[in-house]
Amino acid sequence: MENSGLRSQILIEIKNLIASSCTKQKVPQKMKDLHVALLKHHYNAVHVSIDYHRRRVEMDIVMDDNDYDPKKVNLSIPTLSTNLWYKHLYDFLASCIDQEPKSIAFYAMLLKSYRNNELSLVA
């Protein structure tokens, strides 16, 4: 029961962090990095570029993880180049939030790194 409460708390906090990152007219680099990390995790992308002005996301999505070997240089991994349009940045990023245990751990790590940065700025 407690595990379920922790999971829901992490999901609420990551959505709050996304909401606070989408309110500014000019997005700070730290928040751009958050957006890219979320998209890379959700889409399994190797390259993500966000054009906030045109509301476009360009990324290369890995088609097959079996071709990837972390022990060697990977020169030819099959990818799919995409160019997505979004209407509202928050809605687009919030739709990328997964509820599987691996994703929850990733979001907890992101929250910890962004909370530590905020605390160090305040101190």
Residues 91-107: tens digit of each pLDDT:
999 999 999 999 999 99
CB within 8 A of 25, min separation 6: which ones? none
Q: How far is CA 77 from CA 42, 45, 61, 70, 80, in A?
A: 18, 11, 10, 12, 10
% pLDDT > 90, the chain: 62
pLDDT digits (tens, 9 = 90+) for 40-71: 999 999 899 999 999 999 999 988 877 766 66
Whether the pTM exceeds 0.95: the reply is: no
